[in-house]
């Protein structure tokens, strides 16, 4: 047996530009220090003289077990599995092609033994929270599976495989989540152009979970309904303009201007119907506690809000953390930009 086949994908936080990015506007985003880590392995059960043929060999490549805190599934054989995670992995597998592991080395499989491909791992980001957990999962899965196959998989190939799986989860994703999950760092993402890396100045973000799950596909559909799918919708144009102001602010190291762009973006996202009373309340509480700006992040409707502070250890960060804790929310603070860990 070779060494463990490990794959990682990063979570992400969108500072500016969600939803508008689907319509071709740029978005400013950063990878989170945490994400999903998966280990792929072949599990060989003891030889069973009467093992059914379907279990005796990995004839069906997506007979897999996936074990994460939020997903504990055995993916059964079948042409089109029903569970979205199983369908996503099937799509990913097809896209990986020869980089997907075909079968364990024959020397590892006693005659008549049952073989299962197991993906086990851990997630250090909240699921269904707008922090890119599904992209982190699919990128980690692509990398872990290719590692098990001892196949070279560059970032573009990992992103293509992960994108195929993301389409199962989210319909027509912009590709932003997968780009950050694959590349890490921070940058400006544009559909068709990909991620242009950008150095963030040192900054702190307080992330609070509204407590409500969200569905990216539902929120993207809501925006399409409200805008009639028109890129020229004034709210999308205003979101695009906020990103441009935010990118200029980042280049100038002007956190106050970045915070103002975030406030403006939250207002437009609320106008598009993807905020919630809880997310609005969180943003107001954060601003009152001294945050430089606050907004929902990701698809909205639930999930997380972010508050910009000069650093994770400053008085404003402590006040935002306290205000959100008093609302009964789960919180975390992350340092981004130059000198930030991970
Ligand atoms: C989801 O993280 C961000 C959205 O803009 C959807 C997408 O980019 O695919 C809402």
| Residue-wise pLDDT tens digits, 101-110 | 877 777 777 7
**What pTM did the predictor assign?**
0.90
- Average confidence (pLDDT) over 83-101: 87
pLDDT at 2: 59
Q: Using the mean position of ligand 1's atoms as its centre, give its distance from the Cα of residue 174 in Å.
A: 6
Bridge partners, residue 40, by sequence:
5, 119
pLDDT at 167: 93
- The pLDDT of residue 141 is above 70: yes
First to last CA, the chain: 30
Which ligand 1 atom is at minimum distance from the Cα of 130?
A: 2
Measure 216 CA to ligand 1 centroid, in angstroms.
7
At 322 the pLDDT is 98
Q: What angle do CA 301, 307, 310 make, to 5 degrees?
A: 165
- Ligand 1 pocket residue status of 223, Cβ below 6 Å: no
Give, for ligand 1, the residue of 171, 219, 220 to mutate: max count of ligand atoms closer than 8 Å to Cβ.
Answer: 220
Residue 164: pLDDT over 90: yes
Between the alpha carbon of residue 173 and those of residues 138, 170, 208, the distances in Å are 13, 6, 24
Determine the Cα–Cα distance for residues 127 and 121; give it in Å rounded to an integer.
14
Task: Kindly report the protein residue whose alpha carbon is nearest to atom 2 of ligand 1.
Answer: 298
Q: Which atom of ligand 1 is nearest to the CA of 135?
A: 2
CB 184 within 8 A of CB 157: no
Identify the band that residue 127 occupies on the pLDDT scale cut at 50, 70 and 90: confident
* pLDDT of 82 over the 70 cut: no
Q: How many residues does the chain have?
A: 342
Judged on CB neighbours under 10 Å (0-12, 13-18, 19+), 244 is middle
pLDDT tens for 271-302 read 999 999 999 999 999 999 999 999 999 999 99
Across the range 324-330, mean pLDDT stands at 96
Apex CA 217: angle with CA 214 and CA 218, to 5°?
Answer: 65
Average pLDDT, the chain: 89
166-183 average pLDDT score:
93
The whole-angstrom distance between residue 147's C-alpha and the CA centroid of its chain comes to: 21
Atom of ligand 1 nearest to the CA of 177: 2
12 CA closest ligand 1 atom index: 2
**Which ligand 1 atom sits nearest the alpha carbon of residue 17?**
5
| Pairwise CA distance, residues 152 & 154, whole Å | 6
Strand ranges (E), the chain: 5-16, 27-44, 64-68, 71-75, 115-123, 186-190, 194-197, 203-209, 293-297, 304-309, 330-336
14 Cα–ligand 1 center, Å: 9
- Per-residue pLDDT at 77 exceeds 60: no
- Asked if residue 51 has pLDDT above 70, the reply is no
Q: 255: closest CA among 339, 341, 340, 336?
A: 336
Cα dihedral 148, 150, 153, 158 in deg (nearest 10)? -10
- How high is the pLDDT of residue 58? 41
Q: Is 177 in the pocket of ligand 1 (CB under 6 A)?
A: yes
Q: Measured at the alpha carbon of residue 311, what is the angle toward residues 318 and 271, in degrees to the nearest 5?
A: 80
Q: Is 216 near ligand 1, meaning CB less than 6 Å away?
A: yes
- What mean pLDDT do residues 166-181 have? 92
8 A C-beta contact, residue 95 and residue 164:
yes
- The pLDDT confidence band at residue 68, using thresholds 50, 70 and 90, is low
Higher pLDDT, 106 or 29: 29
308, 205 Cβ separation under 8 angstroms = yes
- Kindly indicate the confidence band of residue 115, based on its pLDDT and cuts at 50, 70 and 90: confident
Beta carbons of 84 and 76 less than 8 angstroms apart = no
Question: What average pLDDT score do residues 255-260 get?
Answer: 98
pLDDT of residue 53: 37
Count of other CB atoms within 10 angstroms of residue 273: 15
The closest-lying atom of ligand 1 relative to the alpha carbon of residue 300 is: 10
Percent of the chain clearing pLDDT 70 (strictly above): 87
Residue nearest ligand 1's atom 8 by CA: 174
Residue-wise pLDDT for 197-236, tens only, equals 999 999 999 999 999 987 888 999 999 999 999 999 999 9
CA dist 56 and 58 (Å) reads 7
Task: Check residue 95 and give its pLDDT.
Answer: 94
* Inter-residue contact 257 to 307 (CB < 8 Å): no
Cβ–ligand 1 distance for 163 under 6 Å, the answer: no
Q: How confident is the model at residue 59 (pLDDT cuts 50, 70, 90)?
A: very low
What is the model's pLDDT at position 136?
Answer: 96
The model's confidence at residue 172, banded by pLDDT at 50, 70 and 90, is confident
339: confidence class by pLDDT, cuts 50, 70, 90: low
Out of 60-64, 227-231, 318-322, which region has the weakest mean confidence (pLDDT)?
A: 60-64
In this structure, the strands spanning 64-68 and 115-123 are parallel
């Amino acid at each position: 047996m070779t060494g463990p086949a490990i794959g990682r994908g990063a979570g992400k936080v969108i500072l500016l530009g969600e939803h508008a990015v689907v319509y071709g506007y740029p978005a400013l985003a950063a990878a989170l220090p945490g994400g999903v880590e998966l280990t792929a392995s072949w599990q060989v059960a003891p030889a069973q003289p009467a093992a059914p043929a379907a279990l005796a060999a990995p004839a069906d490549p997506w007979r897999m077990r996936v074990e994460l805190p939020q997903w504990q599934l055995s993916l059964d054989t079948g042409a089109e599995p029903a569970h979205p995670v199983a369908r996503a992995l099937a799509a990913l597998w097809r896209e990986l092609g020869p980089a997907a592991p075909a079968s364990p080395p024959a020397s590892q499989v006693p005659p008549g033994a049952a073989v299962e491909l197991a993906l086990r791992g851990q997630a250090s980001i909240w699921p269904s929270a707008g922090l890119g957990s599904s992209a982190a999962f699919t990128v980690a899965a692509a990398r872990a599976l290719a590692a098990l196959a001892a196949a070279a998989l560059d970032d573009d190939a990992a992103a293509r495989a992960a994108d195929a799986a993301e389409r199962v989860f989210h319909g027509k994703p912009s590709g932003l989540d997968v780009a950050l999950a694959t590349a890490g760092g921070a940058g400006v993402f544009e559909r068709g152009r990909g991620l242009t890396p950008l150095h963030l100045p040192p900054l702190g973000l307080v992330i609070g979970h509204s407590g409500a799950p969200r569905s990216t596909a539902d929120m993207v559909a809501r925006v399409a309904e409200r805008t009639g799918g028109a890129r020229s919708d004034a709210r999308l144009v205003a979101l695009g303009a906020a990103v441009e102001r935010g990118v200029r602010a980042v280049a100038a190291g002007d956190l106050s201007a970045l915070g103002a762009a975030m406030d403006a973006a939250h207002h437009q996202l609320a106008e598009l119907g993807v905020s919630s009373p809880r997310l609005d309340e969180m943003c107001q509480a954060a601003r009152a506690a001294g945050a430089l700006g606050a907004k929902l992040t990701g698809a909205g409707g639930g999930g997380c809000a972010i508050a910009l502070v000069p650093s994770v250890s400053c008085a404003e960060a402590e006040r935002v953390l306290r205000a959100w804790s008093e609302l009964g929310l789960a919180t975390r603070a992350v340092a981004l930009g130059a000198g930030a860990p991970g």
